[in-house]
Amino acid sequence: MTNPTAAMLVIGDEILSGRTRDANMHFLAGELTKHGIDLREVRIVSDDHEMIVEAVTALAGAYDTVFTSGGIGPTHDDITADCIAAAFGRAIDVRDDARALLQAHYDNSGLELNTARLRMARIPDGAALIDNPVSVAPGFTVENVHVMAGVPSVFQAMVASVLPTLTGGAPLLSQSLRIMRGEGDIAGPLRLLAEEFADLSIGSYPFQKDGVFGANVVIRGSDGARVDAAMTRLAEVFA
Amino acid sequence: MTNPTAAMLVIGDEILSGRTRDANMHFLAGELTKHGIDLREVRIVSDDHEMIVEAVTALAGAYDTVFTSGGIGPTHDDITADCIAAAFGRAIDVRDDARALLQAHYDNSGLELNTARLRMARIPDGAALIDNPVSVAPGFTVENVHVMAGVPSVFQAMVASVLPTLTGGAPLLSQSLRIMRGEGDIAGPLRLLAEEFADLSIGSYPFQKDGVFGANVVIRGSDGARVDAAMTRLAEVFA
């Protein structure tokens, strides 16, 4: 049995320019792994209508679930909601339920629900809202695409709302061993181990520290006993 | 005049599983921005032959330059070189010049150039080698694709080898202003500013700190005088 698959689309000029370093992808990757969903692909594109539509269409067709982050705020560069509507051929407008959420929130805080803020109530037809306990403006789900905010605290809260609604698989278990030898020395035995434990994923991640080369060997699988067995063998081989 | 475009392909099971957080993408993004090359898209895929071939083919066709990171070491999960050869329909085998580099290095260090290490001399036909001053095993360039190691110190050294060979554009200049008001308050004036300075890119990156919402507004462009003018106006509007 294979696990459900997922992809992520990060809409992020600020990441592509090197201004900020991604945090949402790293967070989502960890959550999905725990939930038994395989994150297979991530794409990062800029705030460009055509590129977002193309990426959403490709990913939604190829994977069970897609998560997007970024571009659903009130400013002129927030174009994600319109792109998602376009990708699915749906109309988009201010929706009453989303407007009511915002209205109540801004009434409460004594702020005006102005034209800019009302943009955050633009929801594609037929989408389900995703709860935003941090700053109220909702994300939304269209078919298999979950559209979420880019601000990390909001993104994380939305992931927490969405994840329980998804069918997970067997959580991926992993164990790792740090080996202070160059990859070239361990590659031969490692290949034999990978052939013997073909049901597991065995990865080697080299590093360099103070001029010395080493590798973290990571064994992943959903059957804990098999992972244990492979790790025992690995430790014997490189004892 | 528009700047040359670039994309990056990260081959990284360890990033997709949430085990490690990307460093190479963030580094490359900053270097390209300084060099006047627009990083337009990043894809992260797992160590899967078909996915790597598909991504390389798509990106190499869509952008001026493509950089890949990861998967060129000596272990069984290092399949990038073969995927690049497949993507460009080229043969691949151990090449004499790459083998000579490795032979000299391992002779020097008293290590054996074994079968696993010799895999790192597998280079697609007609590729140019990329110098690796850190650990010798070379990267390579096929047409507009630069294939580099995943270990950050090696990746960075290879970027330093490749960048001077690329034609850059006007470096992207940016200035930013931190505004301690919710995006909903600044969105209206910001849209007018973006319309007035349509030759610049004006982005708003919201954050939340101690329960207070604010935004970093970033103005980017290659004409310093225009960026200055827009920043002056921005400061006046939100004074």
> Is A108 in CB contact (< 8 Å) with chain B?
no
Determine the Cα–Cα distance for residues B179 and B120; give it in Å rounded to an integer: 50
Mind listing the pLDDT tens digit for each residue in A142-157?
999 999 999 999 999 9
Tell me the mean pLDDT in the region B38-52. 96
Q: Are B39 and B201 in contact, with CB atoms under 8 Å apart?
A: no
Neighbour tally for B198: CB within 10 Å: 8
pLDDT at A205 over 90: no
Cα-atom radius of gyration of chain B, to the nearest Å?
Answer: 22
pLDDT at res. A1: 56
Tell me the mean pLDDT in the region A209-228. 87
Confidence of residue B92 (pLDDT cuts 50, 70, 90): very high
Tell me the mean pLDDT in the region A115-121. 94
pLDDT at A212 over 70: yes
Residue B148's DSSP bridge partners are B69
Tell me the mean pLDDT in the region B43-52. 96
pLDDT at res. B204: 87
Tell me the mean pLDDT in the region A77-103. 96
Cα-atom radius of gyration of chain A, to the nearest Å?
Answer: 22
| Domains annotated on chain A, with CATH | 5-165 (3.40.980.10), 173-237 (3.30.70)
> Is B153 in CB contact (< 8 Å) with chain A?
yes
- For residue A112, the Cα-to-chain-centroid distance in whole angstroms is 33
pLDDT at B1 over 60: no
Share above pLDDT 90 across residues of chain B, in percent, rounded to a whole number? 74
Q: Are A137 and A179 in contact, with CB atoms under 8 Å apart?
A: no
Determine the Cα–Cα distance for residues B80 and B140; give it in Å rounded to an integer: 11
Nearest-by-CA chain B residue for A5 = B16
Share above pLDDT 90 across residues of chain A, in percent, rounded to a whole number? 74
Q: Are A162 and A66 in contact, with CB atoms under 8 Å apart?
A: no
Mean pLDDT of chain B: 92
pLDDT at B212 over 90: no
Biggest CA pair distance of chain A: 67
Tell me the mean pLDDT in the region B33-59. 95
Of the CA atoms within 13 Å of residue B64, those in its CB half-sphere come to 15
CA dihedral (B216, B220, B224, B225) positive or negative: negative
Confidence of residue A64 (pLDDT cuts 50, 70, 90): very high
Mean pLDDT of chain A: 93
Structure token digits, residue A181: 């030898």
How near does any CA of chain B get to the CA of A36, in Å? 11
Indicate the burial class of B207 (C-beta count within 10 angstroms; 0-12, 13-18, 19 or more): middle
pLDDT at res. A74: 92
Of the given ranges (A150-164, A199-213, B52-66), which has the lowest mean pLDDT? A199-213
Of A203, A183, A187, give the one whose Cα is nearest residue B137: A183
For B44, the closest of A41, A153, A174 (CB atoms) is A41
- Asked if A203's CB is within 8 angstroms of B77's CB, the reply is yes
pLDDT at B51 over 90: yes
Of B94, B92, B16, B26, give the one whose Cα is nearest residue B51: B16
Determine the Cα–Cα distance for residues B9 and B45; give it in Å rounded to an integer: 8
Tell me the mean pLDDT in the region A94-103. 96
More confident residue, A34 or A123: A123
> Is B183 in CB contact (< 8 Å) with chain A?
yes
pLDDT at res. B33: 92
Cβ contacts of A188 on chain B, cutoff 8 Å: 114-116
